[in-house]
Structure 1
Amino acid sequence: MKQQIAKRPVMAGANAPGRGKPGRMLRSKAVRVWTEMKKNKHAYVLMAPYFLIFCTFTVIPVLLSFALSFTNFNLLEQPRWIGWQNYARLFVQDDIFLIALKNTLLFAAITGPISYMACFIFAWLINELPPKLRAVLTLVLYAPSISGNTYLIWTLLFAGDSYGYANSFLMKWGFIMEPIQWLQDTRYVLTILILVQLWLSLGTSFLAFIAGLQNVDRTMYEAGSIDGIRNRWQELWFITLPAMRPQLMFGAVIQIASAFSVAEISIYLLGFPSVDYAAHTIVTHLVDYGTIRFEMGYASAIATVLFTIMLTVNLVTQKLLGKVGE
């Protein structure tokens, strides 16, 4: 027995049981992927132009921005590596950024969910109407998001003199005795910014939801009634929403991007910078350092923080939408 044990060969390295299994699995997976790519080579050829443009103008700039966030770069001199100093300055020394971060998170927490639900609710209601009436209402609700005189309308509404519509109405009915400086008072500017964003929120997501509702297979509702679905809310949760998952995810990405990247409304309506930075956001802070001060390394750090926040929110939203209909 001892001789048999002594003569037993010792297996080591790649010959040991299970040692080569991960390598074989990777090779087999690579072979399957390559076979699938060869099978669909025509589709990849058609996708190649968009993929090249996407990589050139999106992926590569994001990677370069992340690399520049660790440097001191002013467009005139060569980037100089400074490590984590930009991020330390951002969260420890830059009080304005902390104000912008607070405003952005508050703004996104309010406008993101409300505008997302409003887009779906209006699309769901309009979807039940006759085609001609549905087309008219879709145009009416979508028009504010593409109108060019948005800021003029809201500037007239919240003008700081007695001729402003809000002041005129409140003074006429005796609610106030003198005009309110709506766009200069720190108590109101962020609220006005939120109202304007909500008014503009029925945009691309709204159209995507209408398209998704139009493409839901009607036979699924008949099958659902046989399986025990008895009311419209059950139809919505167990049939409509699961069938619209791609549109729901697309709408969520659009609304998250618009909620976190607000800047144009604040700049044109409330000034740049706004009074006491009351409506200052991360993007306006990025515009300040990127296009005015030309501190590109510091601006890249701001952009990286914003990208990380948006990516995290997108991942959480994707997990939540994956549970729809369960």
Structure 2
Amino acid sequence: MASGKSGTAFEPRGSTGAVRRPNARRGNLARLIGEIKRKRHGYTLLAPYFILFFTFTAFPVLMAFALSFTSFNVLEPPKWVGWENYANLFVKDEVFLTAVKNTLLFAAVTGPISYVACFFLAWLINELSPGIRSVVTLLFYAPSISGNVYLIWQVAFSGDSFGYVNAFLMKWGFAMEPIQWLQDPKYMLPIIMVVQLWLSLGTAFLAFIAGLQGLDATLVEAGAIDGIRNRWQELWFITLPSLRPMLMFGAVMQITASFAVADVATNLVGFPSPQYAGHTIVTHLNDFGAIRFEMGYASSVAAVLFAMMLGTNLVVQKLLRKVGE
């Protein structure tokens, strides 16, 4: 009995983790510190970027999320209101629900179309000779950096008979009188979509061009040996898997552009637009943040938009992982 008690009293309990767990934690901490010391030069080089990123990107996002639970008018200290802002958004704010519907419809149409168009245009342009390719790339990219781009579309869809679209329709008998394209709610959102698609060949388009030009030609030769017989198989099994980083970057850029649309709507149909037909989440955010200075409520709008964009990006990432399978 004594020996049994002695064995029980001095039996090591490491198998259960009750005694060794603190030691394991100290060991993990020591390994982490040692890893940091070994790679201190790399962390030192990353430190300026990390500080800037945290100060001007991560910290404002965290602050906006915190302010979304307050009532804050900039002049007075924030007052905690809990989930009241979010409740008002989805229960009382009918304009916000209209903005959500317009934004989701806009993103569902322009996001995929602009993304696919950017890639296939880049793929086709990459087949041209270097000189012609540079000129064509500039022509497609120019609208995204043009300063007076909205003036062109305002003239084209002008509501009088001098507008290009109205003049064409009236000349050929398709319309008897001018159509108020930018004032009629049933035409506003489609026109905004068209203009946004025209402007969508921006950074993602250039990223695809750069990725295609840097594609390893030996992969194509190896694919031909392994049974690749046409350009579509080459595209799916070689080109797209090789361009996954560019595809992800382009997806993030196009999703951001489609959800964050505001300037196009404001410049074409005004703010606020008739019957809020061109109202988006970002214009709603600008209304409460930059005009009314209800920063707590505006932060809740921003938090909802951030959640929508984050969820869409996660779904797209899962889809892109299946490319080439």
- Alignment map for 1:151-166 (pairs within 5 Å): 151-166=150-165
In the alignment, structure 2 segments of 5+ residues that lack a partner are none
Tell me what 2:143 maps to.
144
Tell me what 1:235 maps to.
234
The answer on whether the counterparts of 1:13 and 1:19 sit within 8 Å (CA) in structure 2 is no
Indicate the SS of the match to 1:188: helix
Tell me what 2:105 maps to.
106
- Which deviates further from its counterpart, 95-104 or 230-239? 230-239
- RMSD, matched Cα: 1.9
**C-alpha distance in structure 1 between counterparts of 2:127 and 2:102, whole Å:** 38
TM-fit CA distance, 1:40: 3.1
TM-fit CA distance, 1:46: 2.1
The answer on whether the counterparts of 1:159 and 1:182 sit within 8 Å (CA) in structure 2 is yes
**C-alpha distance in structure 2 between counterparts of 1:83 and 1:156, whole Å:** 47
**C-alpha distance in structure 1 between counterparts of 2:28 and 2:214, whole Å:** 35
Tell me what 2:312 maps to.
313
Tell me what 1:130 maps to.
129
1:180 matched to 2:150? The reply is: no
1:81 matched to 2:80? The reply is: yes
In the alignment, structure 1 segments of 5+ residues that lack a partner are none
Tell me what 2:259 maps to.
260
The answer on whether the counterparts of 1:170 and 1:176 sit within 8 Å (CA) in structure 2 is yes
TM-fit CA distance, 1:33: 4.2
- The residue type equivalent to 1:250 in the other structure is F
TM-fit CA distance, 1:285: 0.2
Indicate the SS of the match to 2:186: coil
Tell me what 1:196 maps to.
195
1:66 matched to 2:65? The reply is: yes
TM-fit CA distance, 1:35: 3.8
TM-fit CA distance, 1:231: 1.4
Tell me what 1:45 maps to.
44
TM-fit CA distance, 1:308: 0.5
**C-alpha distance in structure 2 between counterparts of 1:103 and 1:262, whole Å:** 10
Deviation digits for residues 196-254 of structure 1 (CA, Å, limit 9, x no counterpart): 00000000000000011111111011111111211111111111111111111110110
Tell me what 2:208 maps to.
209
Deviation digits for residues 129-148 of structure 1 (CA, Å, limit 9, x no counterpart): 10001000000000000001
Q: 1:222 to 1:69 in 2, by over 3 A?
A: same
TM-fit CA distance, 1:34: 3.7
- The residue type equivalent to 1:230 in the other structure is R
> Structure 2-normalised TM-score?
0.95
The answer on whether the counterparts of 1:282 and 1:306 sit within 8 Å (CA) in structure 2 is yes
- The residue type equivalent to 1:110 in the other structure is V
> Structure 1-normalised TM-score?
0.94
Q: 1:222 to 1:66 in 2, by over 3 A?
A: same
Q: 1:215 to 1:69 in 2, by over 3 A?
A: same
Indicate the SS of the match to 1:128: coil
Tell me what 2:298 maps to.
299
**C-alpha distance in structure 2 between counterparts of 1:136 and 1:143, whole Å:** 11
- Dislocated runs of 4+, deviation >6 Å: 11-14
> What is the count of residue pairs matched by the alignment?
325
- Which deviates further from its counterpart, 71-80 or 24-33? 24-33
- The residue type equivalent to 2:61 in the other structure is V
Q: 1:31 to 1:3 in 2, by over 3 A?
A: closer
**C-alpha distance in structure 2 between counterparts of 1:277 and 1:197, whole Å:** 18
The answer on whether the counterparts of 2:14 and 2:20 sit within 8 Å (CA) in structure 1 is no
The answer on whether the counterparts of 2:89 and 2:96 sit within 8 Å (CA) in structure 1 is yes
- Which deviates further from its counterpart, 251-260 or 2-11? 2-11
**C-alpha distance in structure 2 between counterparts of 1:109 and 1:11, whole Å:** 67
TM-fit CA distance, 1:42: 2.4
1:223 matched to 2:222? The reply is: yes
TM-fit CA distance, 1:5: 5.6
Deviation digits for residues 37-93 of structure 1 (CA, Å, limit 9, x no counterpart): 333332322222221111111111111110100000001111000100000000000
